[in-house]
A and B are shown apart, each in its own frame.
Chain A
Amino acid sequence: MNNTPSPPPASDAPRRTIDIVNASLKRRYARERRFRRLGAFAVALGLSFVVLLFTDIVSKGYTAFAQTYIQLPLNLSAEVIDPSGSREPATLAAANYTKLIRDALRQQFPDLTERQALRRLYALVSVGAGDLVREQVLAEPALIGTTPELWVLADDDIDMLVKGNIDRTAAPEDRRVSDETIGWVTQLEQQGRVAKRFNTIFLTHGTSREPELAGIAGALMGSFYTLLLTLLLSFPIGVGAALYLEEFAPKNRWTDLIEVNINNLAAVPSIVFGLLGLAVFIGFFGIPRSTPLVAALVMTIMTLPTIIIASRVALKSVPPSIREAALGVGASALQTQFHHVLPLALPGMLTGAIIGMARALGESAPLLMIGMIAFIVDIPSGFTDSATVLPVQIFLWADSPERAFVERTSAAIIVLLAFLFLMNLAAVLLRRKFERRW
């Protein structure tokens, strides 16, 4: 538009076309180069943002996969833990393991006697350390009667101190950990009793208000159940709808209307589906709140348009000759679809479904309305157990004041991104492997 053709040169002989082309050639090449460069720049800019995001998250989050433990010789004497000698799990579970840990800590610092100072000393280990030792003893009753050197979970402040997130050289009033505590930790470190070990709690436990005890297993299972049910519901319905609309439905005003509506639904903000779920599934059908079941129903409605649209595109890309050949040798319309068209379109449909699932995995807005923003410690074991999902867990942790939740938030994001990456990779691989070109 900007180059309005200049008036033809008024001069002498008529110019030949080739001259005009040659004259403009340089400009046209330059324009193409410019466009390519802009494109490359756009890609580079996008990539650099992705790299920035990933480095930021990974650099903040990777430390959460290690957790500080303190090695203490625990006196697991049979008289204390199992006075009757029966080795019954109920008796073993009832023993006071926290006291054993505290005794062991006091042994390390025998000069401390004052009650307040001892309380501060006991704060070196996590409030959940006793429970973890109990699990260990229950799993390995042979430990009873011995004094094993066990690794005891440290408190989150100590964890932050050991990881260097609390500056030991700062003025005492500028940090959360007192000089006294740092002295104790340093002494334990010199004895080699402090170590960072792989944080299995993060991957095997449900959430907690104590950062050192908080894990993503609960949210992960919640996401798993929700997605599984979403896939089971939305894929058959989506494929069925696409098949009918594309292959069987008469083309008239009604189907046009339906098509427009499906396309519109794909663009509806997800919170709207949450409101719908609240009114219909919880309000009308009485499905319990905060369950993967109700979340999956909402997610199904949300992903259906994506799956239907992708499936219709996949069906469209199957050449008509396949259908004609099948019909030609006497197959019924249904046989044509199920024996010939559907298998060829399936890879495309699966890709669409996986992309829809990936979106559902990262979605949190519709879940606000149906009670998934909740503190749920127990790991869900079914579709009707209370559960939360990964993005919501990330949101809840990001809101917590404890400093150790910063790295755990980032670590949870890493896990979520890893799953999203795997799902999208699966979509690409499926397409590569099964795609047929004609």
Chain B
Amino acid sequence: MNKTLLTSAVAVAMTLLSGQALAARDTINIVGSSTVFPFSTAVAETFGRTGKFNTPKVESTGTGGGMKLFCGGVGVDHPDITNASRQMKASEFENCQKAGVTEITEVKIGFDGIAIANAKSAKQLDLSLKDIFLALAKDVPDSSGKFVPNPNKTWKDVNSALPDTKIEVLGPPPTSGTRDAFVELAMEGGCNSIPVIKALKKSDEKLHKAVCGGVREDGAYVEAGENDNLIVQKLSSNKNALGIFGYSFLDQNTDKVQGSKIAGVAPSYDAISDGSYPVSRSIYFYVKNAHVGTIPGIKEFVSEFTNDKAWGPEGYLADKGLISLPDADRTSVAKSARALTPMSKPE
């Protein structure tokens, strides 16, 4: 009695498992960047709500992890789309080619800006990338070109045009994608504007990277946790502090905080959209053309994403904090995305 029960249970389980596992996939699988995750999920949900296709599965794996999975090969085991908070690298493209993922459609969906903000009650700052580097780097070159631990205590030490207040910057910890982007866009941009360090790039690339990427640990830079909301709260109670967070949080809290100008440009929707605000990056997703037609709905998903209702300046993604491409770019990107024009090898 017990034996038959057990045997039949095992048999049922086996058929259930194998039957389902072998069936073709009818849900789009999306992997990739956590920065693009909020936008991708919003589109996925709206797409699923139309009822014609299943709601795509969106995994948050990080850009690099997503690329690895995406370039793993062609077939139902591999994802159809990967999100990226940077452009695909040439090496990743080659890996894709090697695995048989030959035709990839690149879709640039918009921008992600990083704001350096302070409380509304304080004075708006105008920083250059060099100021940011000199204020926050772990080691800076002294007058003779030797690297010393950052001696700057106040903003005035950094640049005499800035106010005489203590340097106190609340920002994300190293595990955060925002921090990576900040280091890459602001710190590295700033450190390359210093000739001594720029020269280093040729002579000692490792040291160059360490100098440009090193954020000081003596208390001037405060790791305030992954939660951008928390940083906004702390800024409104501390007039002297600056905070680093995603533009969408600045946009949601314009009543409490103001973004500092960087190289004379304030972080605004338009400035980020036309590229004049320096601390911003483009975000992308990549489509595996070989899966179109095999996995139902990929084309329709791309259409939904590249619809002005979604990614336009008035679309629902703008509500979630996406900064749209300029109108002309949007039209051309949408056209090539919907035609699934394969990308060429990135430089």
Chain A contacts to B: CB under 8 angstroms: 93, 127-128, 131, 171, 173-176, 208-210, 232, 286-290, 293, 371, 373-378, 382-386, 396, 399-401
Contacts and interface: CB of A to CB of B under 8 A. Distances in A.
Contacts of B42: 209
B17 A384 contact: yes
Sort A-B residue pairs by CB-CB distance and give the 6 closest, nearest first.
A384-B20, A377-B55, A173-B255, A375-B58, A375-B41, A374-B59
A293 B17 contact: yes
Given A174-B256, A375-B37, 11 more contacts: A173-B255, A289-B59, A373-B59, A374-B58, A374-B60, A376-B58, A377-B44, A378-B55, A384-B17, A400-B38, A401-B321
Contact of A377 (B48, B51, B61, B254): B48
Given A209-B38, A375-B41, A401-B249, A383 B16 contact: yes
A93 B51 contact: yes
Contacts of B300: none
B45 A174 contact: no
B87 interface: no
A389 B61 CA distance: 16
Contacts of A210: 45
Contacts of A382: 16, 20
Nearest to A236: B6
A268 to B, nearest CB: 23
B104 to A, nearest CB: 20
B59 A401 contact: no
Contacts of B252: 176, 401
A401 B229 contact: yes
B21 interface: yes
30 contacts: A93-B51, A174-B256, A175-B255, A208-B45, A209-B38, A209-B41, A209-B42, A210-B45, A288-B77, A293-B17, A371-B59, A371-B61, A373-B61, A374-B60, A375-B57, A376-B55, A376-B57, A376-B58, A377-B48, A378-B54, A378-B55, A382-B20, A383-B17, A384-B21, A386-B27, A386-B57, A401-B38, A401-B228, A401-B249, A401-B252
Interface of B: 13, 16-17, 20-21, 27, 31, 37-38, 40-42, 44-45, 48-49, 51, 54-55, 57-61, 77, 226-229, 248-249, 252, 254-256, 316, 320-321
B59 A128 contact: no
A346 to B, nearest CB: 14
A281 to B, nearest CB: 12
A286 B44 contact: no
A382 B256 CA distance: 47
Given A173-B255, A174-B255, A373 B41 contact: no
Contacts of A131: 49
A386 B138 CA distance: 44
Nearest to A176: B252
Contacts of B16: 382-383
Nearest to A400: B38
A232 B48 CA distance: 33
Given A209-B41, A382-B16, A384-B20, A373 B256 contact: no
A286 B45 CA distance: 28
Contacts of A375: 37, 40-41, 44-45, 57-60
B190 to A, nearest CB: 28
Given A209-B38, A382-B16, A383-B16, A374 B57 contact: yes
Contacts of B256: 174
Contacts of B40: 375
A383 B20 contact: yes
Contacts of A175: 255
Given A176-B252, A386-B27, A377 B45 contact: yes
Contacts of B255: 171, 173-175
Given A174-B256, A209-B38, A375-B37, A290 B21 contact: no
Contacts of B13: 232
Q: Which of A287, A290, A375, A382 has the most CB of B within 10 A?
A: A375
Contacts of B226: 399
Contacts of B55: 376-378
Nearest to B10: A232
A176 to B, nearest CB: 7
Contacts of A171: 255
A383 B15 CA distance: 12
B176 to A, nearest CB: 11
A170 to B, nearest CB: 9
Contacts of B45: 208-210, 375, 377
Contacts of A127: 316
Contact of A290 (B38, B57, B248, B320): B57
Nearest to B72: A283
A360 B270 CA distance: 48
Nearest to A206: B55
Contact of B21 (A232, A288, A377, A396): A288
Contacts of A176: 252
Contacts of B229: 401
Nearest to A282: B77
Nearest to B316: A127
Contacts of B51: 93
A286 B27 contact: no
B332 to A, nearest CB: 28
A386 B252 CA distance: 33
B305 to A, nearest CB: 14
Contacts of B48: 377-378
B300 to A, nearest CB: 16
Contacts of A371: 31, 59, 61
Q: Which of B38, B54, B228, B320 has the most CB of A within 10 A?
A: B38
Contacts of B248: 401
A232 B16 CA distance: 15
Q: Which of A171, A377, A383 has the most CB of B within 10 A?
A: A377
A174 B321 CA distance: 19
Contacts of A374: 57-60
B149 to A, nearest CB: 34
A337 B132 CA distance: 73
B222 to A, nearest CB: 20
Nearest to A376: B57
Nearest to B314: A119
Q: Which of A286, A290, A399, A401 has the most CB of B within 10 A?
A: A401
B59 A290 contact: yes
